[in-house]
Amino acid sequence: MLTQWQAPIDLGERIAAAQAYRKTIVKNTNAYRMVHAEADLLPALVVDRYGDYISIQTLNQGMDKATPVLVAALEEQFAPKAIVARNDAAVRTLEELPRETKVLSGEIDGPVPVSMNGFQLEADLMTGHKTGVFLDQRENYMAAARWAKGKALDCFTATGGFALHMARVCDSVEAADSSLPSLETAERNANKNGLSNIEFVEADVFELLSSYTSARKTFDTVVLDPPSFAKSKKQVDGAARGYKDINLRGLRLLESGGILVTCSCSHHMSEAALIEIAAAAAADAGRTVRVLEVRRQAQDHPVLLSVPETLYLKCLILQVV
């Protein structure tokens, strides 16, 4: 007997159902996740909207073969200027599919403009992070801005999501990343929004944090949003050490009353494990820390309880007391 995953599905109907849900929770942005794979009952399919453009990922053999039908459904429902396939994810190699990025329909010429939380940003759908920008952190950007204050440090800033949001409430923001192209995009985003109190620093973040600790430099707010340290279950122990190390370094830079926003984007690292790691780092740093918020990915990235991999992003907002 066929299971619900094996039975034929109507892609157009499933996409329409996913959009009905998005209309209830997506606010103040034209860049959001339209389809979140299994959580929208469309396994191995990711669809992201960037204003008048759409980016897709087809991550297994079946969904990849359905690409023409998928493109037709998206064109019929949304009439985008272009649809891009960001099929450069490593999982496609396991599926014996090529890793590639290409335009499936329409035309796209460079980064595209999007709006998010009142900010005007650019999204590079062809070579940017994930499918363009970090859509899953959208609500966490706003949460961080609610607590951020004084002098802030944004580590692994990428295209500046946390930095831009904090710049409107902080005296100054230092945004660090090892990728110069990402920093250049972040700086353009800052300029688009009239923000002049952000300093962009190209650096290895681990080395930067160590040097700041040695120099006894302090901040009122620190954001840690590193790339995934655990790509597989075998890497979890090493990732735990990495997360503890970086949280220890971040906590040592905070003034009393300071705010730490710390994230993990690996579904192999559970929320409970991240909390334990943060607690252990606080103990080693000799700091007393309380939890202000425990957060996850934005609501347009829903979680299916029977598929734990759909819950992958964890975000803690902590305060040194």
Alpha carbons 176 and 224: distance in angstroms, whole number: 10
Q: How open is the CA angle 48-179-29, to the nearest 5 degrees? A: 30
Q: Phi and psi for 145 in degrees, rounded to 5?
A: -65, -25
Alpha carbons 313 and 259: distance in angstroms, whole number: 19
225 touches 138 (CB < 8 A): no
Alpha carbons 195 and 251: distance in angstroms, whole number: 27
Q: Where are the beta strands (DSSP E) in 94-253?
A: 100-106, 112-116, 119-123, 151-155, 172-177, 198-202, 219-224
Residues 6+ away with beta carbon under 8 Å from 274: 243, 262, 264, 314, 316
Alpha carbons 273 and 253: distance in angstroms, whole number: 23
List residues with catalytic annotation.
Answer: 265
198 touches 163 (CB < 8 A): yes
Q: At what angle do helices 236-252 and 271-285 cross, to 10 degrees?
A: 40
Alpha carbons 6 and 22: distance in angstroms, whole number: 26
239 touches 268 (CB < 8 A): yes
Alpha carbons 159 and 190: distance in angstroms, whole number: 10
Alpha carbons 141 and 110: distance in angstroms, whole number: 25
